Amino acid sequence: MAAYYHSIADDLRRRIECAEYVVDEPLPSEAKLAIRYRVSVPTIRIALEVLQAEGRVEKLHGRGNFVRRPEERAVYGSAGHAVGRRAAESPPMQVSAEVRTVSATDGLSALLQVRRGALLTEFEYVSVLGTSVRGLARLYVPQRVVKLKGPVVDPSPWGDEVRSLLAEAGVHVASTVDRVASRLPSTEERKVFRSAAPVLAVERTSTDFSGQIVEGALLALPGDRAEAVFTTRTHVEPMEAVG
C-alpha cells in the first residue's frame, strides 16, 4: 500500500487541475476519500501530505483540506521591497506589525554580533493575502545602537520602514547582505503557512559606515508562493568619441 498513495495523490491532483475541486473549497473528508479509494484513513493522509508539500492543498485545523489558490506570489527584492504578483481580482496584501523588546538568543547573537542576552527591538510582520499567510518577517535592531519605538504606521511586508526609523535616529545604513536559501519549514512556519512546502528563507544584515551591524532580519516566505528578485547596477564609463 506504500506506493498506492502516489496513485491517490495523482488522481486528486488531476481532479484539482480539472476544477472538479475548486479553489478555497474543501475536499471530501478523509473518511469519505478512504471509502472512495478503498484504503485506510492514514493512507489518505499520506496522499494529502504529498499535495500539501506541493502547495496544492492546505489543511485547516478543524475544517479539513482545502484547494489552495494558485500563482499568488510575494516577491522579495534586493532593496527589501515587496511586490505582489497575483491575479487582478485578488485582494490587497494585509500586513500586521508588532514591536517588542527581546533578549538575544544564541542565533540572534551570532546574526547581530552582540552578546547573548543583549536587548534588541524586534519588529514582527505577518503578511496575509486573502486567507493565506504570504510572509513572516522579524527585524532586529540592537538597543546599544539605538532604541526604536513603535507603533509602526502603514507597515510593509519586509519592514522597509525600519530603515527610515534608523535614519531618523541618525543611524545610516552603508551596506546590506542578503543570504537566501530554500529549506524545509520549521514547526512554527508550518503552522503559520499551513503548508509543508519548502520555504524561501532570507537572512539579512545591514551595517553602518563603521562596519557595525545596525539591523538584522529573518524572513520566511512559502516557497511555492514566493520568489526573490535581485538587481545589480553596474557603472560603465562612457566611450570617448573617435575622430
For the domain that residue 197 is a member of, what is the CATH number? 3.40.1410.10
Q: Are residues 93 and 211 in the same domain?
A: yes
Of 11-15, 64-68, 190-194, the one with minimum mean pLDDT is: 190-194
C-alpha–C-alpha distance, residues 118 and 78, integer Å: 29
Report pTM: 0.68
Check pLDDT > 80 for residue 242. no
Q: Are residues 81 and 56 in the same domain?
A: no
Residue entry with cell 553596474: 234
Q: Which of 1-15, 61-75, 114-128 has maximum average pLDDT?
A: 114-128
Percent of the chain whose predicted confidence (pLDDT) is above 90: 56
Cell numbers that stand for 16 in this block: 484539482
Give 136-139 contacts, CB < 8 A, sequence gap 24+: 136/189, 136/192, 136/193, 136/219, 136/220, 136/221, 137/217, 137/218, 137/219, 137/220, 138/217, 138/218, 138/219, 139/215, 139/216, 139/217
* Close Cβ partners of 158 (under 8 Å, ≥ 6 residues apart): 76, 80, 81, 82, 125, 135, 137, 217, 219
Q: Is residue 140 part of a domain?
A: yes
Name the pairing type of β-strands 82-85 and 94-103.
unpaired
Q: Which domain holds residue 150?
A: 73-229
Name the residue with higher pLDDT: 198 or 218.
Answer: 218
C-alpha–C-alpha distance, residues 203 and 215, integer Å: 11
Q: Are residues 113 and 220 in the same domain?
A: yes
For residue range 70-82, list pLDDT tens digits in order.
655 666 765 544 4
Cell numbers that stand for 147 in this block: 532604541
What was the pLDDT predicted at 233? 64
Q: Are residues 135 and 22 in the same domain?
A: no
Task: Read off the pLDDT band of 105 (50, 70, 90).
Answer: very high
Domain total of the chain: 2
Of 65-74, 111-120, 191-200, 211-220, the one with minimum mean pLDDT is: 65-74
For residue range 132-167, list pLDDT tens digits in order.
788 899 999 999 999 998 788 888 888 889 999 999
Q: Are residues 175 and 99 in the same domain?
A: yes
Task: Read off the pLDDT band of 91 (50, 70, 90).
Answer: low
Residue ending a domain, among 67, 83, 104, is: 67
Q: Are residues 131 and 17 in the same domain?
A: no
Q: Are residues 202 and 85 in the same domain?
A: yes
Mean pLDDT of 21-50: 93
What was the pLDDT predicted at 4? 84
Name the pairing type of β-strands 73-77 and 226-229.
parallel
Q: Are residues 60 and 139 in the same domain?
A: no
